[in-house]
Amino acid sequence: MKMTYDLAKEFLDYDENTGKLTWKNRGVDWFSNSKTPDAHCKTWNTRYAGKDTGYIVTNKYGYPCIKFRFQGRLYTSSRVIWLWMTGEYPKGQIDHLNRDSTDNRWCNLRDVSPSENSRNMSMSCKNTSGVTGVYWNKEKLKWHAQCQYENRTYRIGTFDNIEDAAKAAYDFRKERGFVGEYGQLVNQEDSK
């Protein structure tokens, strides 16, 4: 059974200020297949009602998110929260404005295209310069600035110092609507 708006409202509570998605009490009619529906209902509600629905899962790109199971299906909490709040699933991807993908406060979520979402990324774990879009060219002994935009790599320039390369990369991204903190490290504690 796929999660719908009505099911989300019946089974889940959401606190938009904390971002917590919790289980509601279930009625005995949801346990009618059990030999002892009353006992099963009481056990389930004692164990789960009022508790967080999900757990943190890290995807293949290293990004954590909160997921949970309902009726045998795995759901991403931020997408179900969008459904819970708006009555429909997001049309695109859920972007977490502060780049903390476990912070599901309503003020931190927006429905965006993949292209828009890519303009609000954290620094790659493969970065060695400490500045997104800047790398050291060993052959030329210079700093290079480049940026990915609209599925294309733009070579911005070559610089003698990292500060000039960083500024060039930042200016390039700013002109194209990237979020100001794009490519910076996220401190999970500071973002909440």
Q: Maximum CA pair distance of the chain?
A: 76
Q: Is the pLDDT of residue 157 over 90?
A: yes
Residue 115 clears pLDDT 50, i.e. is over it: yes
Tokens of 100: 């903390």
Question: Of 7-16, 21-30, 120-129, which range is least confident?
Answer: 120-129
**Residues 69-78 pLDDT 10s:** 999 999 999 9
As a whole number, mean pLDDT of residues 185-191 equals: 45
Q: What pLDDT was estimated at residue 33?
A: 85
What integer is the mean pLDDT of 125-141? 84
Residue 109 and residue 95 in contact, taking contact as beta carbons nearer than 8 Å: yes
Enumerate domains of the chain plus CATH numbers: 5-118 (3.90.75), 121-192 (3.30.730.10)
Q: How far apart are alpha carbons 116 and 157 in whole angstroms?
A: 24
Query: Strand order of the sheet with strand 152-159?
Result: 134-137, 142-149, 152-159
174 against 39, higher pLDDT: 39
Q: Which amino acid belongs to residue 168?
A: A
> What SS3 class is residue 157?
strand
* pLDDT tens-digit map of 22-73: 999 999 988 888 899 999 999 999 999 999 999 999 877 677 899 999 999 9
Q: Are 159 and 180 in contact (CB under 8 A)?
A: no
Task: Dump the DSSP string for 3-52.
Answer: --HHHHHHHEEEETTTTEEEEPP--GGGGTTSSSHHHHHHHHHHHHTTSB
What angle (nearest 5°) sits at the alpha carbon of residue 171, between those of residues 92 and 119? 15
pLDDT band at residue 181 using 50, 70 and 90 as cut-offs: low
Q: Using a pLDDT cut of 90, give the percent of the chain over it.
A: 58
- Between CA 8 and CA 70 the distance in angstroms is 10
Q: Is the pLDDT of residue 145 over 70?
A: yes
Residue 138 has pLDDT above 60, yes or no: yes
What pLDDT is attached to residue 186? 46
